[in-house]
Structures are given as structure tokens and as C-alpha cells.
Amino acid sequence: MALPKYTEPHYRIWHYVYLFICGCVFFFLIAPLFVIFPLSFNAEEFLVITDGMKRLDPDAFSLRWYKDMVYGTKNPWGLAAKNSFFIAIFATIGAVILGTVAALGLSSRYMPYKGIIMATLISPMIVPLIISGVAIFFFMAKAGLAATHTGIVIAHIILGTPFVVITVTATLSGFDHSVTRAAASLGSNPVNTFMKITLPLILPGVISGALFAFVTSFDEVVIVLFLAGLDNTTIPIQMWTGLREQLSPTILSVATCLILLSTLVLIAAELLRRRSERIRGISR
């Protein structure tokens, strides 16, 4: 956004200094990624930037580690990817349902003790994961759900629900409840009102929460370390095991794909946020 022509010089200077500081912080945060990307295309089996790569020699680059990630027969990356997507999809569905219902309840003016309920719902984001992992493990062990997909999905629903609650609650903060009252006065039942009026208006917030819940489940390590068995290995767990036992550039290929996936999710969330603002008339 360009500064107005009448902006005073010292404000203009501070504006550009502020942008420079933000750029430096952003570069500091993403600088390690600049190492992962080229190493994932290394033709050698070593995690170093070779002389050929420095000379930009085409023979020094290869897609062999991406092929190994997809088609490799001596590693469980395929099973880990299948488990990760399966668990993340079902955990996202559960988190969206529970989080949306909770946000709708919290948005009601008749809901008592909103602060306490909200703090309880978002507590999985605040409590250290190691503590949550121990508690969830003992609960799942008592229920006979340890080392099962069901137990991991339930655990990930617990972790993903707060993101949906926060995003949907933020969307409902500017929601005009007069439209739902008008629908009720015209004879619409609550379910029909929700499906045809409320849901389309809060859909950007629901989708944003779903994206964050999906990424949270897909990248989760600590909880899965407590609950996963040999048949429940996910991509983050497989990466953790590979870093400890067999360091391979395949791990960097997987990390590159996860970074690209996270970037796409953030872009989608930002686009949905802007769409939500346009719908509510906050911005053009």
C-alpha cells in the first residue's frame, strides 16, 4: 500500500525502516528453507551441496529422492503417507463438526460462562504437547484405542478443534443475526436456516479452521509418538525415525513437499480471510 503524497518525511522514513526490519525478520525465519530445497535435488547420497551443484552442473541434480519417496520399495514412505492423509482427513472432519457447533454456541448471547468454556476449548493449544500426549495415551490405553487409527484420529480431533473454534468464532463476531431472525419469522426451521443462511456466510471461517486442523494433524509428532504402532506410522514419525537411524536425502524431499503443502494452506487461508471480509463489508 503506497503512502499518501502528504505524508511527512519522518513518517515516510519510519515506514520504509519498518518494512526493512520486517523483511529481515522474514528472511531470518525462512533462511533455513533455502538449504533444504537444493539438497533435496542432490544426485549424491550425502547431505551436502556438492561442487557440481555450486557450478549448476545438470548432472549434479536429480529427482531420485522424490522417486524414492513415491516408488521406493525399501522404505515405508508410502504407508506413512497413506496413514497421514487418512488420519488428517477424518480428524479434520471431526474437528470441523465439533468446532463449528461449539463456536455457534459461544456466539449465542444466552450462553453462560463463555470465558470459562472458551478457555477450556482452546486449552489443547496452551497445554504443552508432552503433557497432553501422556494424558491422551493413558486414556486411550484404558479405552483400548492405543496403537489404532481410531485413537490417533480422536487425539488429533482434540488438537484441531481449537483452531476451528477460533476461526469460526472470529467470523461470527461480525455476523448479522437479524438475517436468522428474519428467516425464523418467515417460518424457516433452525436446520434450514443454518444450511441456507448461516453456513454460507461463515463458510470462509469454517474452511480456514479446517485447513489449520488438517495441517496440525498432518504435522503432529508428539501425540503420535505415544499412540502409534508399527501400522500407524505417519510421515512426521517416519522422518523422525529416519533422522535417528538412517539419514537419507529422501527426508529432505518429504520436507520440501510438506513446506509446499503448508505454504499452499496459508495462501488459501489468506484468500478465504479476504473473501470473508468482503462478504461482511469490511473491505472492498
The number of residues making up the chain comes to 284
DSSP per-residue string spanning 5-67: TT--HHHHHHHHHHHHHHHHHHHHHHTTHHHHHHHTTBSSSSSS--HHHHTT-GGGB-SHHHH
Q: What is the pLDDT of residue 126?
A: 86
pLDDT at 96: 93
CATH classification code of 83-280: 1.10.3720.10
Q: Residues 6 or more apart from 275 whose CB is under 8 A from it?
A: 204
Phi, psi of 228 (to 5 degrees): -75, 145
d(CA 32, CA 256): 12
Q: Is the pTM of this model over 0.85?
A: no
- Which residues of the chain does CATH 1.10.3720.10 include? 83-280
Distance from C-alpha of 80 to C-alpha of 66, rounded to nearest angstrom = 15
**pLDDT tens for the chain, residues 1 to 284:** 566 777 777 788 888 899 899 999 988 888 877 788 888 888 887 777 778 888 888 888 888 888 777 775 556 777 888 888 899 999 999 999 999 999 888 887 778 888 888 888 888 888 888 898 889 989 888 888 888 888 999 999 999 999 999 988 888 877 777 788 888 888 888 888 888 888 888 888 888 889 889 988 988 888 888 888 777 888 888 888 777 776 777 888 888 888 888 888 788 877 877 776 676 555 54
Vertex 163 angle, CA 243 and 138, to 5°: 60
- Report the sign of the C-alpha dihedral through residues 163, 165, 168, 170, in that order: negative
